[in-house]
Chains A and B, each alone.
Chain A
Amino acid sequence: MPAAPDLNLDHVAKLARLALTPAEKAQFASQLGDVLHHIEQLAKVDVTGIEPTAHAFPVVNVWADDVAQPGLSVEAALRNAPAQREHMILVPKVVE
Protein backbone atom coordinates (compact mmCIF):
# COMPACT_ATOMS: atom_id res chain seq x y z
CA MET A 1 0.00 0.00 0.00
CA PRO A 2 1.44 3.39 -0.91
CA ALA A 3 2.00 6.12 1.63
CA ALA A 4 -0.79 8.67 1.86
CA PRO A 5 0.17 11.32 -0.66
CA ASP A 6 -0.79 14.14 1.67
CA LEU A 7 1.00 12.98 4.76
CA ASN A 8 4.16 15.05 5.12
CA LEU A 9 5.68 12.95 7.85
CA ASP A 10 8.58 15.33 8.52
CA HIS A 11 6.26 18.25 9.00
CA VAL A 12 3.82 16.37 11.19
CA ALA A 13 6.59 14.83 13.30
CA LYS A 14 7.97 18.31 13.83
CA LEU A 15 4.59 19.62 14.93
CA ALA A 16 4.27 16.67 17.30
CA ARG A 17 7.82 17.12 18.58
CA LEU A 18 8.83 13.57 17.76
CA ALA A 19 12.28 12.82 16.38
CA LEU A 20 11.83 9.86 14.07
CA THR A 21 14.62 7.66 12.78
CA PRO A 22 14.77 6.96 9.03
CA ALA A 23 13.60 3.42 9.73
CA GLU A 24 10.64 4.67 11.76
CA LYS A 25 9.78 7.14 9.05
CA ALA A 26 9.70 4.47 6.40
CA GLN A 27 7.65 2.14 8.55
CA PHE A 28 5.19 4.77 9.71
CA ALA A 29 4.73 6.15 6.22
CA SER A 30 3.64 2.76 5.00
CA GLN A 31 1.55 1.82 8.03
CA LEU A 32 -0.17 5.18 8.30
CA GLY A 33 -0.70 5.07 4.56
CA ASP A 34 -2.76 1.93 5.08
CA VAL A 35 -4.73 3.50 7.89
CA LEU A 36 -5.37 6.71 6.00
CA HIS A 37 -6.38 4.74 2.97
CA HIS A 38 -8.92 2.91 5.12
CA ILE A 39 -10.11 6.20 6.60
CA GLU A 40 -10.79 7.62 3.15
CA GLN A 41 -14.09 5.77 3.09
CA LEU A 42 -15.45 8.26 5.64
CA ALA A 43 -15.72 10.70 2.75
CA LYS A 44 -18.56 8.54 1.46
CA VAL A 45 -20.82 9.29 4.43
CA ASP A 46 -23.39 11.99 3.79
CA VAL A 47 -23.06 14.32 6.76
CA THR A 48 -25.08 17.20 5.35
CA GLY A 49 -26.90 18.94 8.16
CA ILE A 50 -25.45 16.64 10.82
CA GLU A 51 -24.22 18.31 14.02
CA PRO A 52 -20.85 17.13 15.30
CA THR A 53 -20.82 15.22 18.59
CA ALA A 54 -18.20 16.57 20.96
CA HIS A 55 -19.66 14.96 24.07
CA ALA A 56 -21.84 11.89 24.29
CA PHE A 57 -23.97 13.46 27.01
CA PRO A 58 -23.50 17.21 26.81
CA VAL A 59 -24.50 19.34 29.74
CA VAL A 60 -23.70 23.01 30.13
CA ASN A 61 -22.26 25.28 32.81
CA VAL A 62 -20.23 22.74 34.73
CA TRP A 63 -18.19 24.93 37.02
CA ALA A 64 -16.94 25.41 40.54
CA ASP A 65 -17.16 28.41 42.83
CA ASP A 66 -14.07 30.56 43.09
CA VAL A 67 -12.86 29.27 46.43
CA ALA A 68 -9.12 28.70 46.64
CA GLN A 69 -8.00 25.32 47.96
CA PRO A 70 -4.53 24.25 49.01
CA GLY A 71 -2.45 22.80 46.17
CA LEU A 72 0.77 20.83 46.08
CA SER A 73 3.76 21.68 48.24
CA VAL A 74 6.84 22.77 46.27
CA GLU A 75 8.44 19.45 47.18
CA ALA A 76 5.50 17.47 45.80
CA ALA A 77 5.29 19.69 42.74
CA LEU A 78 8.95 19.18 41.88
CA ARG A 79 9.30 15.62 43.09
CA ASN A 80 9.26 14.16 39.58
CA ALA A 81 11.23 16.97 37.92
CA PRO A 82 14.15 15.73 35.81
CA ALA A 83 16.12 18.90 36.60
CA GLN A 84 15.49 21.74 39.00
CA ARG A 85 17.17 24.69 40.69
CA GLU A 86 15.95 27.24 43.22
CA HIS A 87 12.52 25.59 43.41
CA MET A 88 12.04 25.95 39.68
CA ILE A 89 12.10 23.60 36.73
CA LEU A 90 15.35 23.80 34.81
CA VAL A 91 15.10 23.80 31.03
CA PRO A 92 17.65 24.42 28.30
CA LYS A 93 17.85 28.01 27.17
CA VAL A 94 14.67 28.85 25.35
CA VAL A 95 14.96 30.62 22.04
CA GLU A 96 11.86 32.68 21.29
Chain B
Amino acid sequence: MAAELFFKSIEELGALLEAKQLSATELMRTVIARRQAVDGRVKAFNSSDDADALAQAAASDARRAAGQARGPLEGIPVGLKDVIAVAGQPLTASSKMLANFVSPYDATVTVNLKKAGAIVWGRLNCDEFAMGSSTENSAFGPTANPWDLARVPGGSSGGSAAALAAGEVCATLGSDTGGSIRQPAALCGVVGLKPTYGLVSRYGLAAFASSLDQIGPLTRTVADAALMLGAIAGHDPHDSTSFKAEIPDYRAELKKRQGPWRLGIPKEYFGAGLDPAVGAAVEQAIAFYRAQGCTIKEVSLPHTQFCLDTYYIIATAEASSNLARYDGIRYGHRAKGAKDGVDLYAQSRAEGFGPEVKRRIILGTYVLSSGYYDAYYLRAQKVRTLIRQDFLKAYHEVDALLTPTSPMPAFRLGEKSDPLALYLCDIYTIGVNLAGLPALSLPCGFTPAGLPIGLQLIGQPFREADLLAMAHTYEQAHDWHTKHPSL
Protein backbone atom coordinates (compact mmCIF):
# COMPACT_ATOMS: atom_id res chain seq x y z
CA MET B 1 0.00 0.00 0.00
CA ALA B 2 1.34 3.39 -0.90
CA ALA B 3 2.09 5.58 2.11
CA GLU B 4 -0.48 8.11 3.16
CA LEU B 5 0.19 11.52 1.63
CA PHE B 6 1.25 12.90 4.98
CA PHE B 7 3.91 10.21 5.35
CA LYS B 8 5.51 10.88 1.99
CA SER B 9 8.97 12.34 1.70
CA ILE B 10 9.70 15.80 0.36
CA GLU B 11 11.09 14.16 -2.75
CA GLU B 12 7.91 12.21 -3.38
CA LEU B 13 5.70 15.20 -2.66
CA GLY B 14 7.88 17.41 -4.78
CA ALA B 15 7.40 15.07 -7.74
CA LEU B 16 3.61 15.08 -7.27
CA LEU B 17 3.53 18.86 -6.95
CA GLU B 18 5.70 19.32 -9.99
CA ALA B 19 3.56 16.94 -12.02
CA LYS B 20 0.55 18.96 -10.81
CA GLN B 21 -1.00 15.79 -9.43
CA LEU B 22 -1.10 17.58 -6.13
CA SER B 23 -1.44 21.21 -5.18
CA ALA B 24 0.30 22.84 -2.27
CA THR B 25 -3.13 23.80 -0.98
CA GLU B 26 -4.32 20.18 -1.00
CA LEU B 27 -1.14 19.09 0.71
CA MET B 28 -1.47 21.81 3.33
CA ARG B 29 -5.11 20.86 3.96
CA THR B 30 -4.14 17.21 4.35
CA VAL B 31 -1.44 18.06 6.82
CA ILE B 32 -3.69 20.40 8.80
CA ALA B 33 -6.33 17.67 8.94
CA ARG B 34 -3.77 15.16 10.11
CA ARG B 35 -2.66 17.50 12.85
CA GLN B 36 -6.25 18.02 13.91
CA ALA B 37 -6.70 14.27 14.01
CA VAL B 38 -3.66 13.28 16.03
CA ASP B 39 -2.11 16.23 17.83
CA GLY B 40 -4.55 15.97 20.70
CA ARG B 41 -2.60 12.85 21.58
CA VAL B 42 0.89 13.70 20.34
CA LYS B 43 0.88 17.34 21.50
CA ALA B 44 3.75 18.28 19.25
CA PHE B 45 2.46 21.76 18.42
CA ASN B 46 2.59 24.79 20.64
CA SER B 47 0.62 26.76 18.08
CA SER B 48 -0.05 26.96 14.38
CA ASP B 49 -1.47 29.57 12.10
CA ASP B 50 -3.53 27.51 9.63
CA ALA B 51 -4.95 30.48 7.76
CA ASP B 52 -1.48 31.87 7.18
CA ALA B 53 -0.23 28.44 6.05
CA LEU B 54 -3.08 28.11 3.56
CA ALA B 55 -2.35 31.58 2.25
CA GLN B 56 1.30 30.59 1.80
CA ALA B 57 0.15 27.40 0.03
CA ALA B 58 -2.07 29.38 -2.32
CA ALA B 59 0.85 31.68 -3.07
CA SER B 60 3.00 28.65 -3.77
CA ASP B 61 0.41 27.23 -6.18
CA ALA B 62 0.24 30.58 -7.91
CA ARG B 63 4.02 30.67 -8.27
CA ARG B 64 4.08 27.19 -9.68
CA ALA B 65 1.27 27.99 -12.10
CA ALA B 66 3.24 31.02 -13.25
CA GLY B 67 6.32 28.89 -13.79
CA GLN B 68 8.07 30.60 -10.90
CA ALA B 69 8.51 27.72 -8.48
CA ARG B 70 11.28 28.71 -6.10
CA GLY B 71 13.10 25.51 -5.36
CA PRO B 72 12.95 21.96 -4.10
CA LEU B 73 10.85 22.94 -1.08
CA GLU B 74 8.18 24.70 -3.14
CA GLY B 75 4.85 24.00 -1.47
CA ILE B 76 6.26 21.76 1.26
CA PRO B 77 4.96 22.45 4.81
CA VAL B 78 7.91 22.75 7.18
CA GLY B 79 7.42 23.05 10.94
CA LEU B 80 9.78 24.99 13.17
CA LYS B 81 10.89 24.29 16.69
CA ASP B 82 9.45 27.04 18.83
CA VAL B 83 12.85 28.62 19.40
CA ILE B 84 13.21 29.88 15.82
CA ALA B 85 11.83 33.32 14.98
CA VAL B 86 9.11 33.80 12.37
CA ALA B 87 7.95 37.37 11.83
CA GLY B 88 4.44 37.91 13.13
CA GLN B 89 4.29 34.50 14.81
CA PRO B 90 4.61 33.56 18.47
CA LEU B 91 8.05 32.58 19.70
CA THR B 92 7.66 30.99 23.10
CA ALA B 93 10.69 28.72 23.55
CA SER B 94 8.06 26.61 25.35
CA SER B 95 8.39 28.98 28.28
CA LYS B 96 5.83 30.86 30.30
CA MET B 97 8.34 33.69 30.06
CA LEU B 98 7.55 34.15 26.36
CA ALA B 99 3.97 32.85 26.37
CA ASN B 100 2.72 36.06 24.73
CA PHE B 101 5.77 37.03 22.72
CA VAL B 102 5.36 37.62 18.99
CA SER B 103 8.56 37.92 16.98
CA PRO B 104 8.87 41.07 14.90
CA TYR B 105 11.47 39.46 12.68
CA ASP B 106 12.40 36.31 10.78
CA ALA B 107 15.31 34.07 11.63
CA THR B 108 17.74 33.66 8.74
CA VAL B 109 16.70 30.01 8.36
CA THR B 110 13.08 31.16 8.13
CA VAL B 111 14.01 33.58 5.37
CA ASN B 112 15.95 30.81 3.62
CA LEU B 113 13.11 28.31 3.85
CA LYS B 114 10.70 30.85 2.38
CA LYS B 115 13.19 31.58 -0.39
CA ALA B 116 13.24 27.87 -1.19
CA GLY B 117 9.45 27.86 -1.48
CA ALA B 118 8.63 26.15 1.82
CA ILE B 119 5.43 26.84 3.72
CA VAL B 120 6.56 27.77 7.20
CA TRP B 121 3.90 26.47 9.51
CA GLY B 122 3.63 25.47 13.13
CA ARG B 123 5.50 26.25 16.31
CA LEU B 124 6.72 22.93 17.64
CA ASN B 125 7.07 21.99 21.27
CA CYS B 126 10.43 21.49 22.92
CA ASP B 127 12.08 21.58 26.28
CA GLU B 128 11.95 25.09 27.65
CA PHE B 129 14.67 27.14 25.95
CA ALA B 130 15.89 23.84 24.46
CA MET B 131 17.08 22.61 27.85
CA GLY B 132 16.31 18.94 28.19
CA SER B 133 16.28 15.57 26.53
CA SER B 134 12.63 14.58 26.79
CA THR B 135 10.41 17.58 25.94
CA GLU B 136 8.95 17.22 29.39
CA ASN B 137 10.35 20.61 30.46
CA SER B 138 7.78 22.57 28.49
CA ALA B 139 5.40 25.17 29.86
CA PHE B 140 2.90 23.74 27.35
CA GLY B 141 3.14 20.22 28.74
CA PRO B 142 5.05 17.24 27.37
CA THR B 143 4.90 15.89 23.84
CA ALA B 144 4.26 12.17 23.43
CA ASN B 145 6.24 9.76 21.32
CA PRO B 146 4.01 8.74 18.38
CA TRP B 147 5.34 5.16 18.61
CA ASP B 148 4.19 4.84 22.19
CA LEU B 149 2.20 7.71 23.60
CA ALA B 150 3.27 6.83 27.14
CA ARG B 151 6.86 7.56 26.22
CA VAL B 152 8.87 10.70 25.57
CA PRO B 153 9.84 11.75 22.05
CA GLY B 154 13.29 12.74 23.26
CA GLY B 155 14.39 16.32 23.32
CA SER B 156 14.84 19.06 23.26
CA SER B 157 13.45 19.12 19.68
CA GLY B 158 10.84 16.52 20.69
CA GLY B 159 7.96 18.35 19.03
CA SER B 160 9.89 18.58 15.77
CA ALA B 161 10.62 14.82 15.80
CA ALA B 162 7.18 13.75 17.00
CA ALA B 163 5.22 15.97 14.61
CA LEU B 164 7.21 14.54 11.74
CA ALA B 165 6.89 10.91 12.88
CA ALA B 166 3.15 11.42 13.37
CA GLY B 167 2.68 12.78 9.84
CA GLU B 168 1.65 16.21 11.06
CA VAL B 169 4.21 18.01 8.91
CA CYS B 170 6.56 17.05 6.05
CA ALA B 171 9.87 18.21 7.50
CA THR B 172 10.94 20.24 10.49
CA LEU B 173 13.77 22.26 11.89
CA GLY B 174 15.19 21.63 15.31
CA SER B 175 18.16 22.97 17.20
CA ASP B 176 20.96 20.89 18.63
CA THR B 177 23.13 22.06 21.52
CA GLY B 178 24.04 18.66 22.94
CA GLY B 179 22.04 16.23 20.85
CA SER B 180 18.68 17.95 20.70
CA ILE B 181 18.07 17.11 17.03
CA ARG B 182 19.69 13.69 16.87
CA GLN B 183 18.38 12.15 20.08
CA PRO B 184 14.68 12.91 19.40
CA ALA B 185 15.19 11.85 15.78
CA ALA B 186 16.51 8.52 17.07
CA LEU B 187 13.70 8.10 19.57
CA CYS B 188 11.03 8.93 16.99
CA GLY B 189 12.48 6.98 14.05
CA VAL B 190 13.33 9.88 11.72
CA VAL B 191 16.49 11.40 10.26
CA GLY B 192 18.06 14.27 12.18
CA LEU B 193 21.09 16.26 11.08
CA LYS B 194 23.18 18.54 13.25
CA PRO B 195 25.36 20.56 10.87
CA THR B 196 28.93 21.70 11.49
CA TYR B 197 28.99 24.67 13.85
CA GLY B 198 28.82 27.75 11.64
CA LEU B 199 27.28 26.12 8.57
CA VAL B 200 23.74 27.27 9.38
CA SER B 201 23.03 30.75 10.72
CA ARG B 202 21.92 31.05 14.33
CA TYR B 203 20.39 34.49 13.74
CA GLY B 204 16.85 34.24 15.03
CA LEU B 205 17.42 31.14 17.15
CA ALA B 206 16.68 31.90 20.81
CA ALA B 207 20.09 31.08 22.19
CA PHE B 208 20.72 28.36 24.73
CA ALA B 209 24.50 27.96 24.50
CA SER B 210 25.90 30.13 21.75
CA SER B 211 29.11 28.20 21.11
CA LEU B 212 27.25 24.89 20.78
CA ASP B 213 23.85 25.67 19.22
CA GLN B 214 23.15 24.71 15.62
CA ILE B 215 19.90 24.57 13.70
CA GLY B 216 19.34 21.50 11.56
CA PRO B 217 16.64 19.52 9.76
CA LEU B 218 14.57 16.55 10.85
CA THR B 219 13.23 14.62 7.87
CA ARG B 220 11.81 11.26 6.79
CA THR B 221 14.74 10.39 4.56
CA VAL B 222 18.38 11.24 4.14
CA ALA B 223 17.67 12.75 0.72
CA ASP B 224 15.14 15.07 2.36
CA ALA B 225 17.76 16.08 4.92
CA ALA B 226 20.06 16.92 2.00
CA LEU B 227 17.37 19.10 0.43
CA MET B 228 16.60 20.87 3.68
CA LEU B 229 20.25 21.45 4.50
CA GLY B 230 20.83 22.89 1.05
CA ALA B 231 18.02 25.37 1.69
CA ILE B 232 19.18 26.59 5.09
CA ALA B 233 22.99 26.37 4.95
CA GLY B 234 25.27 29.22 4.00
CA HIS B 235 27.05 32.26 5.28
CA ASP B 236 24.95 34.88 7.03
CA PRO B 237 26.33 38.36 7.69
CA HIS B 238 23.99 38.60 10.72
CA ASP B 239 25.78 35.79 12.53
CA SER B 240 29.45 36.48 13.29
CA THR B 241 30.03 32.78 13.92
CA SER B 242 28.63 31.84 10.53
CA PHE B 243 31.25 30.27 8.30
CA LYS B 244 32.00 31.11 4.68
CA ALA B 245 31.82 27.53 3.48
CA GLU B 246 31.18 26.17 0.01
CA ILE B 247 27.62 24.84 -0.14
CA PRO B 248 27.43 21.92 -2.56
CA ASP B 249 24.21 20.50 -4.00
CA TYR B 250 23.84 17.99 -1.19
CA ARG B 251 21.09 16.07 -2.96
CA ALA B 252 23.11 15.66 -6.13
CA GLU B 253 26.19 14.67 -4.15
CA LEU B 254 24.39 11.68 -2.61
CA LYS B 255 24.83 9.69 -5.80
CA LYS B 256 28.33 10.88 -6.51
CA ARG B 257 29.81 9.78 -3.22
CA GLN B 258 29.79 6.04 -3.06
CA GLY B 259 32.52 5.08 -0.62
CA PRO B 260 33.81 2.72 0.48
CA TRP B 261 34.53 4.71 3.59
CA ARG B 262 36.76 4.15 6.52
CA LEU B 263 34.51 4.13 9.55
CA GLY B 264 35.74 4.47 13.10
CA ILE B 265 34.03 2.81 16.04
CA PRO B 266 34.88 4.79 19.18
CA LYS B 267 35.24 2.15 21.87
CA GLU B 268 34.16 4.57 24.61
CA TYR B 269 30.68 4.73 23.02
CA PHE B 270 29.91 1.07 23.53
CA GLY B 271 30.39 0.70 27.27
CA ALA B 272 28.11 0.18 30.24
CA GLY B 273 24.70 1.82 30.09
CA LEU B 274 24.09 0.97 26.45
CA ASP B 275 20.74 -0.71 25.95
CA PRO B 276 21.35 -4.21 24.48
CA ALA B 277 18.76 -3.82 21.72
CA VAL B 278 20.33 -0.50 20.71
CA GLY B 279 23.80 -2.07 20.81
CA ALA B 280 22.67 -4.98 18.65
CA ALA B 281 21.06 -2.76 16.03
CA VAL B 282 24.17 -0.62 15.78
CA GLU B 283 26.34 -3.76 15.46
CA GLN B 284 24.18 -4.82 12.53
CA ALA B 285 24.66 -1.44 10.91
CA ILE B 286 28.41 -1.84 11.34
CA ALA B 287 28.16 -5.27 9.71
CA PHE B 288 26.27 -3.69 6.83
CA TYR B 289 28.96 -1.13 6.16
CA ARG B 290 31.64 -3.81 6.43
CA ALA B 291 29.77 -5.85 3.88
CA GLN B 292 29.73 -2.81 1.64
CA GLY B 293 33.51 -2.86 1.59
CA CYS B 294 34.01 -0.14 4.21
CA THR B 295 36.99 -0.37 6.50
CA ILE B 296 35.83 -0.65 10.09
CA LYS B 297 38.35 0.44 12.64
CA GLU B 298 38.14 0.74 16.39
CA VAL B 299 39.28 4.16 17.53
CA SER B 300 39.60 5.84 20.88
CA LEU B 301 38.28 9.20 22.01
CA PRO B 302 40.01 9.15 25.37
CA HIS B 303 38.39 12.27 26.82
CA THR B 304 34.85 11.01 26.23
CA GLN B 305 34.29 10.52 29.95
CA PHE B 306 34.78 14.27 30.46
CA CYS B 307 32.34 15.39 27.77
CA LEU B 308 29.32 15.54 30.03
CA ASP B 309 30.97 17.72 32.66
CA THR B 310 32.62 19.96 30.10
CA TYR B 311 29.32 20.33 28.33
CA TYR B 312 27.32 21.20 31.44
CA ILE B 313 29.80 23.84 32.51
CA ILE B 314 30.05 25.55 29.13
CA ALA B 315 26.39 25.22 28.19
CA THR B 316 25.04 26.44 31.51
CA ALA B 317 27.55 29.29 31.76
CA GLU B 318 26.58 30.58 28.34
CA ALA B 319 22.91 29.99 29.07
CA SER B 320 23.03 31.93 32.34
CA SER B 321 24.15 34.96 30.35
CA ASN B 322 22.02 34.35 27.25
CA LEU B 323 18.86 34.06 29.34
CA ALA B 324 19.58 37.20 31.37
CA ARG B 325 17.64 39.16 28.74
CA TYR B 326 14.43 37.46 29.84
CA ASP B 327 13.64 39.94 32.57
CA GLY B 328 10.10 41.12 31.91
CA ILE B 329 11.28 44.62 31.06
CA ARG B 330 11.13 45.04 27.28
CA TYR B 331 9.06 41.92 26.61
CA GLY B 332 8.10 38.67 28.25
CA HIS B 333 6.47 37.81 31.54
CA ARG B 334 6.45 40.56 34.16
CA ALA B 335 5.48 39.71 37.72
CA LYS B 336 2.81 41.81 39.36
CA GLY B 337 3.35 43.53 42.67
CA ALA B 338 7.13 43.52 42.76
CA LYS B 339 8.36 45.89 45.47
CA ASP B 340 11.24 47.36 43.48
CA GLY B 341 13.35 46.95 40.38
CA VAL B 342 15.53 44.17 41.73
CA ASP B 343 12.53 42.30 43.03
CA LEU B 344 10.79 42.71 39.67
CA TYR B 345 13.61 40.81 38.00
CA ALA B 346 13.73 38.07 40.60
CA GLN B 347 9.95 37.57 40.69
CA SER B 348 9.42 37.76 36.93
CA ARG B 349 12.15 35.24 36.31
CA ALA B 350 10.97 33.00 39.14
CA GLU B 351 7.47 32.95 37.66
CA GLY B 352 8.53 32.82 34.01
CA PHE B 353 11.10 30.02 34.07
CA GLY B 354 10.55 26.35 34.80
CA PRO B 355 12.72 24.31 37.18
CA GLU B 356 15.24 22.93 34.67
CA VAL B 357 15.94 26.39 33.26
CA LYS B 358 16.39 27.74 36.78
CA ARG B 359 18.72 24.89 37.70
CA ARG B 360 20.89 25.54 34.68
CA ILE B 361 20.93 29.29 35.21
CA ILE B 362 22.01 28.72 38.80
CA LEU B 363 24.72 26.29 37.77
CA GLY B 364 25.95 28.56 34.98
CA THR B 365 25.96 31.61 37.22
CA TYR B 366 27.89 29.69 39.83
CA VAL B 367 30.61 28.41 37.51
CA LEU B 368 31.23 31.94 36.22
CA SER B 369 31.12 33.62 39.61
CA SER B 370 34.08 35.26 41.22
CA GLY B 371 36.67 32.76 42.34
CA TYR B 372 35.29 29.83 40.32
CA TYR B 373 35.85 30.91 36.73
CA ASP B 374 39.27 29.32 36.37
CA ALA B 375 38.33 26.09 38.08
CA TYR B 376 35.21 25.57 36.04
CA TYR B 377 34.69 27.58 32.89
CA LEU B 378 38.30 28.10 31.84
CA ARG B 379 39.19 24.52 32.66
CA ALA B 380 36.17 23.27 30.72
CA GLN B 381 37.24 25.35 27.71
CA LYS B 382 40.63 23.66 27.87
CA VAL B 383 39.19 20.18 28.22
CA ARG B 384 37.03 21.10 25.26
CA THR B 385 40.23 21.55 23.28
CA LEU B 386 41.31 18.04 24.25
CA ILE B 387 37.93 16.58 23.31
CA ARG B 388 38.09 18.32 19.95
CA GLN B 389 41.64 17.06 19.39
CA ASP B 390 40.46 13.48 20.07
CA PHE B 391 38.03 13.71 17.17
CA LEU B 392 40.43 15.43 14.80
CA LYS B 393 43.07 12.82 15.59
CA ALA B 394 40.63 10.01 14.83
CA TYR B 395 39.97 11.62 11.45
CA HIS B 396 43.56 10.98 10.47
CA GLU B 397 42.55 7.32 10.27
CA VAL B 398 38.86 7.33 9.42
CA ASP B 399 36.35 9.33 7.38
CA ALA B 400 33.60 9.25 9.95
CA LEU B 401 32.62 7.74 13.26
CA LEU B 402 29.73 5.40 13.81
CA THR B 403 27.98 5.20 17.18
CA PRO B 404 24.56 4.76 18.74
CA THR B 405 22.72 8.09 18.89
CA SER B 406 21.20 7.46 22.31
CA PRO B 407 22.15 4.83 24.87
CA MET B 408 18.50 3.93 25.29
CA PRO B 409 15.27 4.01 23.29
CA ALA B 410 12.38 6.23 24.27
CA PHE B 411 11.71 6.07 27.98
CA ARG B 412 8.46 6.57 29.82
CA LEU B 413 7.16 10.05 30.52
CA GLY B 414 8.18 10.96 34.05
CA GLU B 415 10.58 8.05 34.29
CA LYS B 416 13.72 10.14 34.63
CA SER B 417 12.98 12.72 37.27
CA ASP B 418 16.57 13.07 38.40
CA PRO B 419 18.36 15.70 36.29
CA LEU B 420 21.66 13.87 36.29
CA ALA B 421 20.07 10.67 35.00
CA LEU B 422 18.51 12.68 32.21
CA TYR B 423 21.79 14.37 31.40
CA LEU B 424 23.27 10.91 30.79
CA CYS B 425 20.93 10.50 27.77
CA ASP B 426 23.24 12.83 25.90
CA ILE B 427 26.55 11.07 26.42
CA TYR B 428 26.91 10.03 22.76
CA THR B 429 25.82 13.32 21.29
CA ILE B 430 27.44 16.13 23.30
CA GLY B 431 31.04 15.48 22.24
CA VAL B 432 29.99 16.39 18.70
CA ASN B 433 28.75 19.81 19.82
CA LEU B 434 31.86 20.48 21.89
CA ALA B 435 33.99 19.71 18.83
CA GLY B 436 31.65 21.60 16.47
CA LEU B 437 31.29 18.59 14.15
CA PRO B 438 28.44 17.54 11.89
CA ALA B 439 26.51 14.42 12.87
CA LEU B 440 23.44 12.68 11.69
CA SER B 441 21.06 10.21 13.25
CA LEU B 442 19.09 7.80 11.11
CA PRO B 443 16.78 4.92 11.92
CA CYS B 444 18.54 1.56 12.20
CA GLY B 445 15.94 -0.74 13.67
CA PHE B 446 13.41 -1.25 16.39
CA THR B 447 13.54 -2.68 19.88
CA PRO B 448 11.51 -5.79 20.58
CA ALA B 449 8.90 -3.42 22.03
CA GLY B 450 8.71 -1.64 18.69
CA LEU B 451 10.59 1.51 19.62
CA PRO B 452 12.84 3.14 17.01
CA ILE B 453 16.61 2.95 17.33
CA GLY B 454 18.97 5.57 15.92
CA LEU B 455 22.40 5.19 14.39
CA GLN B 456 24.73 8.17 14.64
CA LEU B 457 27.31 9.05 12.00
CA ILE B 458 29.77 11.75 13.01
CA GLY B 459 31.53 13.48 10.15
CA GLN B 460 34.37 15.86 9.50
CA PRO B 461 33.91 19.60 9.65
CA PHE B 462 31.88 21.00 6.73
CA ARG B 463 31.77 17.60 5.02
CA GLU B 464 28.04 17.08 5.39
CA ALA B 465 27.92 15.83 1.81
CA ASP B 466 29.97 12.78 2.77
CA LEU B 467 27.97 12.23 5.90
CA LEU B 468 24.70 12.33 4.00
CA ALA B 469 26.05 9.97 1.34
CA MET B 470 27.11 7.43 3.97
CA ALA B 471 23.67 7.59 5.57
CA HIS B 472 21.96 7.41 2.20
CA THR B 473 23.85 4.23 1.35
CA TYR B 474 22.55 2.62 4.51
CA GLU B 475 19.03 3.91 4.06
CA GLN B 476 18.81 2.63 0.48
CA ALA B 477 19.44 -0.89 1.72
CA HIS B 478 16.96 -0.78 4.62
CA ASP B 479 13.29 -0.03 4.99
CA TRP B 480 13.13 1.38 8.53
CA HIS B 481 12.16 4.77 7.17
CA THR B 482 9.07 3.32 5.48
CA LYS B 483 7.58 2.24 8.81
CA HIS B 484 5.24 4.63 10.56
CA PRO B 485 3.52 4.63 13.92
CA SER B 486 -0.18 3.82 13.93
CA LEU B 487 -2.10 6.56 15.58
Contact = CB atoms under 8 A, between A and B. Distances in A.
Direct contact between A and B judged by beta carbons closer than 8 A: yes
Interface of A: 6-7, 9, 11-21, 24, 27-28, 31-32, 34-36, 38-39, 41-43, 45, 47, 50-57, 59, 62, 64, 72, 76-77, 79-83, 89, 91-95
Contacts of B231: none
A35 B378 contact: no
Interface stretch (B115-123, B162-170, B331-339, B452-460): B331-339
Contacts of B197: 55-57
B104 A53 contact: no
Interface in B378-394: 378-386, 388
B436 to A, nearest CB: 2
Interface string B87-120: 0000000000000111011000000000000000
A64 B237 CA distance: 8
Given A42-B306, A56-B211, A80-B100, A35 B419 contact: yes
Contacts of B324: 17
Interface string B300-341: 000101101110110000001000100111111110001011
B104 A76 contact: yes
Nearest to A48: B382
Contacts of B419: 31, 34-35
A81 B308 contact: no
B365 A12 contact: yes
Contacts of A13: 346, 362
Contact of A24 (B320, B334, B355, B361): B355
Contact of A16 (B105, B309, B320): B320
Contacts, number: 167
B240 interface: yes
A82 B102 contact: no
Nearest to B368: A15
Nearest to B245: A57
24 contacts: A12-B365, A13-B346, A17-B342, A18-B358, A19-B349, A24-B355, A28-B358, A32-B359, A32-B362, A35-B312, A35-B363, A35-B420, A38-B420, A42-B376, A45-B306, A51-B382, A52-B381, A55-B197, A56-B197, A56-B211, A57-B197, A57-B436, A82-B329, A93-B341
Given A19-B349, A47-B383, A91 B344 contact: yes
Q: Which 6 A-B pairs have the closest CB atoms?
A: A56-B436, A52-B381, A80-B331, A82-B334, A17-B345, A19-B346
B366 interface: yes
B369 interface: yes
B420 A53 contact: no
| B interface residue count range (under 10 / 10 to 19 / 20 to 34 / 35 or more) | 35 or more
A82 B308 CA distance: 38
B272 to A, nearest CB: 16
A62 to B, nearest CB: 4
A16 B79 CA distance: 33
A47 B386 contact: yes
Contacts of B383: 42, 45, 47, 50
B435 interface: yes
A77 to B, nearest CB: 8
Interface in B47-73: none
B436 A45 contact: no
Contacts of B308: 38
Contacts of B355: 24, 27
B382 A50 contact: yes
Interface centre among B303, B353, B381, B435 (most CB of A within 10 A): B381
B236 to A, nearest CB: 11
B233 to A, nearest CB: 14
A53 B240 contact: no
Nearest to B238: A64
B146 interface: no
A35 B365 CA distance: 14
A9 B388 CA distance: 33
Nearest to B433: A56
B403 interface: no
A94 B309 contact: no
B347 interface: yes
Nearest to A57: B198
B201 to A, nearest CB: 13
Contact of B366 (A12, A56, A79, A94): A12
Contacts of A55: 197, 211, 241, 436
B461 interface: yes
Given A53-B385, A80-B101, A16 B198 contact: no
Contacts of A41: 305-306, 309
